[in-house]
Amino acid sequence: MGRNRRNRFPERIDNVTITGLADKGFCVGKTDEGMVVFVEKVVPGDVVDVRPFRKKKKVLFCAPLEFHKKSEDRVEPFCQHFGVCGGCKWQNFSYEGQLREKDRIVRDALTRIGKVEVGEWEPILGSEETSFYRNKLEFGVANRRWLTAEEVGDETVTNEMDVIGFHKAGAYDKLIDIEKCHLQFGPSNELRNGIRALAIAMDIPFFDMRERTGLFRQFMIRTTTTGECMLVLAFFENDQDRIKPFLDAVMAEFGKLITSLYYCINGKINEYMMDLEMNLFAGTSTIRETLGHVKFHIGPKSFFQTNSRQGERLYEITAEYAGLTGTENVYDLYTGIGSIGQFVAKDAGAVVGIEEIAAAIDDAKINAELNGLDNCTWYAGRTEDILTPEFAAKHGRPDVLITDPPRAGMHPKVIPMLLELAAPVIVYVSCNPGTQARDLALLAEKYKVVKARAVDMFPQTSHCESVVRLELR
């Protein structure tokens, strides 16, 4: 095997057996000599020769060169954009295989990495919907499209094209034009394609990310299982002479599909929209969603579970693990818009929710009132700042504490407070089994994990949620 002297790694590694999923579209591979590498565009069970292209912290990242054996779990991808768009990297891996791998990842994180003893492992809960399961998507708008490797060498092909789609990794100023996306249910594809055609017909300038010129910049669609749809269109400048006629035309042509139409002005460098002023142009200010027995009004900035149908199943497991009987005092940490807290409130004596994002707490209060819940109290602020002995003295010791932190896990200051509170039961919902394992190991001083279950919220991706029930020792 040759060696690349400049990068100090081999030019080729033969007979790599792909053993499992890794993050960001890579799989873990192992050579006959036991060397571990990360390989893209393969699935567990493949045996392949690979070409290393990057070394990071002594880990080699590789691309496949030649397949000696293809996995029995390989399936035909169903999306025309697969392999170019990076949104659904595991469409070529059977869903049964995905569930098997995700279950293993969660179990390994807790037991092998975190050294957590789990009393009972329940089988992973797969998603009934493996495509068209998302309720929210954001698209970029640009006047240049990303070219494939074959197109780059063709002088007759140009990248100058008005497109709505996703960024290719590393191509900040160009987009992959998306014709049909299999992620979002509802009229998402019809609206995106129709509005792109309408904008082109009306000569609305698409955004030039390199030169920072143009008008039409971003596009967000929210859909609900109740059949409602919200659009948010972002423009680079507040050019009402063009914006208003365009939005009028959008409503005239697609009004039957649109419940709520907002627009915003984004003149910033970045594409983050949640810090921008949202202007209601037509329709209702919110759209309606239900998760089981709970109703929600969702606005353009609402933080809401991205997979509505599977989110309901996740909350059912959370409620089951909480084991409420109608009298318990429940703390709900990192509550977001209070969705879990409100889901369990009917079986609780009181629910106290804490969330850092003030706008999310505003939504929680509105939705609690919508559901007629008078036993919920909400606090806006960082959990590590609000959850204090004084707070516990005011609201009483929790009988059940539910926590659903972001990917980084719970703040280090929160763990000692949980140990001091000593709630008889903790239900820990996580979107990152690695940080969950870390936190569970810290809680092991007083708690044992009696039950755990992985829940697949995002089919065709490597992401997986997990729910754990802890009890005082």
Annotate 360-416 with DSSP letters as a single string: HHHHHHHHHHHTT--SEEEEES-HHHH-SHHHHHHH---SEEEE---TT-S-TTHHH
Displacement of CA 296 from its chain's centroid (Å): 19
Closest CA to 274 of 246, 245, 304, 314: 304
* C-alpha to C-alpha distance for 10 and 65, rounded to whole angstroms: 13
Question: Which residue reads 């009181």 in tokens?
Answer: 350
CB of 294 within 8 A of CB of 270?
A: no
Q: At what angle do helices 414-421 and 433-443 cross, to 10 degrees?
A: 50
Enclosing H/E stretch for 419: helix 414-421
**Residue 207 CA: distances (Å) to CA of 196, 215, 350, 457:** 13, 6, 49, 33
- Report how far residue 442's alpha carbon sits from residue 437's, in angstroms, rounded to the nearest whole number: 9
Give the chain's end-to-end CA distance (angstroms, integer): 55
Query: What DSSP element (H or E) covers 153?
Result: none
Distance in angstroms (rounded) separating the CA atoms of residues 86 and 34: 29
Per DSSP bridges, beta strands 59-69 and 36-40 are parallel
Residue with tokens 């006629």: 245
Between CA 44 and CA 460 the distance in angstroms is 14
Tell me, letter by letter, the H, E, C secondary structure of 262-290.
Answer: EEEECCCCCCCCCCCCCEEEEECCCEEEE
- Known catalytic residues are 431
Provide the token pair at 141. 């708008």
**Distance set, CA 167 to CA 26, 85, 172, 213, 271 (Å):** 18, 8, 7, 18, 12
